[in-house]
Amino acid sequence: MRRLFPVTAETDDREWSLAELAAAYAHPEPRPGESGAWLRGNMVTTLDGAAQHEGRSQPISNATDMRIFGTLRALADVVVVGAETVRQEGYRPARARAGFEDLRAAAGQPPAPAIAVVSARLDLDFALPLFTSPLTPTLILTGAAAPADRIAAAEKAGARVLIAGDGVGVEPARAVRALAELGHTRLLTEGGPRLLGQFVAAGVLDELCLTISPMLAAGDAQRITGGPSVAVPQRLALVSLLEEDGFLFARHGRS
């Protein structure tokens, strides 16, 4: 992998160690007076803006993208994900990644991040390992009007349900606050597009790690964000740009 930005004297094209990747994607230190929560998104897109092919993101990803995906998970306290992505991608519990044990222990984190599923209907299969046998208990973020029987089923399976909205749905900023109140500040969202668009619209997405896959998909795939557009497009600053095998790994953050 090569670093294209920031420009350095380093020009070699070589496999990066996990420690180098972890350093390249380290979460910023919280600023005094802030809740400390930092919400990072990680998504992959084709050149023509497709966020999936035949309902999955795997066909537009590659091995390096998955390595960065794993690194970002290994740095996170919690992985926040929309219920449709859980259903379509068959989410499993996050695993403890080899090579990150010391880093996580030093940061006061359990061996693996919790997965936090955002859902209004809670139409989820609570018999799945995601709920019954995670290393770190799975969280469910939902609204106060969520079906009581589905909340009971989630809790019976071992999930912790957090109410982060007064109605049927979750209010994105409240979800971030609810996680921060539990001490989860290194937040990673893996979308999907409908959820990510709400984080953007609410102004709570701090950073976007975007893999640009050198592929064209055409068709009617979603792009990486959905939902209503924002009044004024939000400008982010380029933090870093890596390249391998024609795939670009961009990191943009709030300036």
Q: Is the dihedral of CA 218, 222, 224, 229 positive or negative?
A: positive
CA–CA dist 104, 102 (Å, integer): 5
The values of phi and psi at residue 199, to 5°, are: -65, -40
Least Cβ distance, residue 56 to ligand NAP (angstroms): 5
Residue nearest to ligand NAP (CB): 192
**Residue 61 CB, nearest approach to ligand NAP (Å):** 8
Give least dist CB 236 to ligand NAP, A.
17
Nearer to ligand NAP, 75 or 141 (CB): 141
Q: Which is nearer to ligand NAP, 50 or 112 (CB)?
A: 50
Question: Which single residue is written with the structure tokens 């990486």?
Answer: 224
Q: Alpha-carbon Rg of the chain, whole angstroms? A: 18
Positions touching ligand NAP (CB under 6 A) are 43-44, 51-52, 55-57, 82-85, 88-89, 118-121, 123, 169-170, 190-195, 198, 222, 224, 226
Q: Report the distance separating Cα 212 and Cα 95, nearest Å.
A: 25
When the beta carbons of 185 and 213 are compared against ligand NAP, the nearer one is: 213
Q: What is the Cα–Cα distance from 20 to 11, expressed in whole angstroms?
A: 15
Q: Which is nearer to ligand NAP, 110 or 167 (CB)?
A: 167
CB of 167 to ligand NAP, least distance (A): 9
Quick one: how far is CA 6 from the chain centroid? 24
